[in-house]
Structure 1
């Protein structure tokens, strides 16, 4: 692991099957994807190795709209998910990264380890860390409501 890798580990008060579905069902993903003050829409998922995914996040408050996309590399329900991630915009400096998520049972909770790499700079990694950390707060709320 380098300073251009991002790893976030978080425990959710939900069974891992539910946490996995939150990442792989379009309507669930749309309900929490995006940092604070952002909403997601246009979520499409072709959940198979090589299948594409795409989503839009937008914020009226910040007057920002961004599309993200990628392809699935590995789908091992409910324990592991691997996919590529890139922003769909001409000025994107991050390029394609690979996201690997593992879901581990911890009693009746789930430990999620999120890893994304490589980032071109430490600043880009730090920006994604802030965004994902805020996004995972929304995921925690989604899982509370879904239980």
Structure 2
């Protein structure tokens, strides 16, 4: 972790890590929490394997959907770790995603109270990191982590 380039989020989710993993790898479950409410997500492709596509769209009104995520998985360690990037499109072409290019590492580990959930979002330079933080990284990723936790813990299931 490089504090000049990376943003992190960590929390304990009071659910087995298998439920947290499923929320990341099952398209129907991912769609239910991947964007902050009241925005709606649609998962177009979720090929959870190294090199597999990660493509989602989002909508404010449930009618008009716009691109949200178009990336690839780089690392998949089942039940433990996912790494994806939006710096490559799902068709493996270089991308200049808006608002910022990033690689995200999702780590789910054992915790006495459930799952130790950690996110590390890496940026190419300090300016991109600062821009992502200014855009509301902690609020946005925090809100979707709350929704993920509610789902995994059974409140939203």
- Match of 1:92? 98
* Unaligned stretches of 5+ residues in structure 1: none
| Inter-CA distance 121–105: structure 2 relative to 1 (3 Å threshold) | closer
Q: Per-residue CA shift, 1:90-135, capped at 9, x if unaligned?
A: 882413x111111111125001110011061413234222211111
* Equivalent pair of 2:30/2:43 in contact (CA under 8 Å): no
> Which structure features the higher share of strand residues?
1
* Equivalent pair of 1:4/1:125 in contact (CA under 8 Å): no
Is residue 142 of structure 1 aligned with residue 151 of structure 2?
yes
- Match of 1:33? 34
Using structure 1 for the length normalisation, give the TM-score: 0.84
- Match of 2:78? 77
| Inter-CA distance 81–42: structure 2 relative to 1 (3 Å threshold) | closer
* Unaligned stretches of 5+ residues in structure 2: 90-94
- Match of 2:18? 17
| Residue 47 of structure 1: how far off its partner (Å) | 1.4
Q: Does the residue aligned with 1:67 lie in a helix, a strand or coil?
A: strand
Q: Give the RMSD, CA atoms, in angstroms.
A: 2.7
| Residue 38 of structure 1: how far off its partner (Å) | 1.3
Is residue 101 of structure 1 aligned with residue 106 of structure 2?
yes
Take 2:97 and 2:86, find their aligned partners in 1: how far apart are those partners?
15
Using structure 2 for the length normalisation, give the TM-score: 0.79
Take 2:44 and 2:14, find their aligned partners in 1: how far apart are those partners?
25
* Equivalent pair of 1:17/1:77 in contact (CA under 8 Å): no
Comparing 36-45 with 103-112, greater Cα deviation is found at: 36-45
Q: Does the residue aligned with 1:133 lie in a helix, a strand or coil?
A: helix
